[in-house]
């Protein structure tokens, strides 16, 4: 006979909604970071973003970063920067790519779990993010504090803290994408990502734009 807990867990699993990082720029960013590539992502009307996988930083020149990083890769132009192009920002200090990954997954989530995450993951927060620079939910601090001090499953944490599962999914997806949270009860599923193909850029045009 099914217990109340088992029934609740079963219903929870059935109701879990997922999103694919491939449908957003999350995988695009991951490819650059894992292969230490420097790339430029741009979209008409939304400006551009430079991600320097070689040093773990990014620069945004977008008037609306939130909208830009929620786009499908098919709606963006992704270019691999040459060494000369990358050197234009060599003396500038950008923001950590961990912040970019948090934002990308946080906005893409919309209350859904990122594929590769599970509702029954026992999650440990490995380091504390700078929440003053990141988008958050009303209970983000409480959620992260629990996972930092006492690794807990996503489902149980939601019940203990009395927060909506959609909020748990959003925070966990963001923390997982940023590389600051991991599941203790199973091995990470991290596929090998191929580097971005080198695309021809007009360096003179890029330099002109960079100096504006």
pLDDT string in tens for the chain (212-residue length) = 434 444 444 445 445 699 999 999 999 999 999 999 999 999 999 999 999 999 999 999 999 999 999 999 999 999 999 888 877 777 677 899 999 999 999 999 999 999 999 999 999 999 999 999 999 999 999 999 999 999 999 999 999 999 999 999 999 999 999 999 999 998 766 667 888 877 544 444 454 555 55
pLDDT in the model for residue 89 = 78
Q: How far apart are CA 129 and CA 177, in angstroms?
A: 12
**Exposed, middle or buried: residue 188 (CB in 10 Å: 0-12, 13-18, 19+)?**
exposed
User: Are 36 and 18 in contact, with CB atoms under 8 Å apart?
Assistant: no
Give me the chain's average pLDDT, please. 87
User: Are 22 and 111 in contact, with CB atoms under 8 Å apart?
Assistant: no
User: Are 38 and 86 in contact, with CB atoms under 8 Å apart?
Assistant: yes
pLDDT in the model for residue 87 = 79
Q: Per the structure block, which two tokens stand in for 32?
A: 């650059």
Plot region of 36 (φ>0 → left; ψ -120 to 50 → alpha; else → beta) = left
User: Are 48 and 41 in contact, with CB atoms under 8 Å apart?
Assistant: yes
Nearest to 68 by CA among 35, 100, 95, 97: 100
% of the chain residues with pLDDT over 90: 74
Residue extents of the structural domains in the chain: 19-210
pLDDT in the model for residue 84 = 82
Please report, for residues 28, 142, 210, the alpha-carbon distance to residue 110 in angstroms, rounded to integers and kept in the order given. 19, 19, 33
> If you write DSSP's letter for every residue of 106-173 in order, what string do you get?
HHHHTT-EEBTB-TT-EEEE-S---GGGS---TTHHHHHHHHHHS-EEHHHHHHHHT--HHHHHHHHH
User: Cβ atoms within 10 A of the Cβ of 78, count?
Assistant: 18
pTM score of the predicted model: 0.85
Please report, for residues 29, 50, 61, 74, 134, the alpha-carbon distance to residue 41 in angstroms, rounded to integers and kept in the order given. 9, 6, 10, 11, 20
Q: How far apart are CA 98 and CA 116, in angstroms?
A: 18
């Amino acid at each position: 006979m099914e217990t109340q807990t088992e029934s609740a867990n079963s219903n929870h699993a059935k109701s879990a909604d997922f999103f694919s990082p491939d449908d957003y720029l999350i995988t695009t960013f991951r490819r650059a970071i894992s292969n230490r590539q420097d790339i430029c992502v741009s979209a008409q009307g939304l400006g551009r973003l430079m991600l320097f996988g070689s040093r773990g930083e990014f620069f945004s020149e977008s008037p609306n970063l939130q909208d830009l990083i929620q786009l499908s890769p098919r709606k963006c132009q992704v270019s691999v920067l040459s060494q000369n192009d990358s050197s234009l920002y060599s003396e500038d200090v950008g923001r950590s790519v961990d912040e970019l990954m948090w934002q990308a997954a946080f906005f893409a989530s919309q209350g859904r779990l990122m594929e590769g995450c599970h509702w029954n993951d026992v999650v440990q927060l490995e380091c504390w993010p700078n929440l003053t620079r990141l988008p958050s939910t009303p209970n983000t601090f409480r959620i992260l504090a629990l996972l930092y001090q006492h690794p807990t499953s996503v489902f149980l944490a939601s019940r203990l803290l009395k927060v909506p599962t959609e909020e748990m999914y959003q925070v966990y997806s963001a923390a997982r994408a940023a590389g600051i949270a991991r599941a203790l009860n199973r091995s990470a599923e991290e596929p090998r990502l191929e580097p971005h193909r080198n695309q021809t850029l007009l360096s003179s045009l890029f330099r002109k734009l960079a100096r504006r």
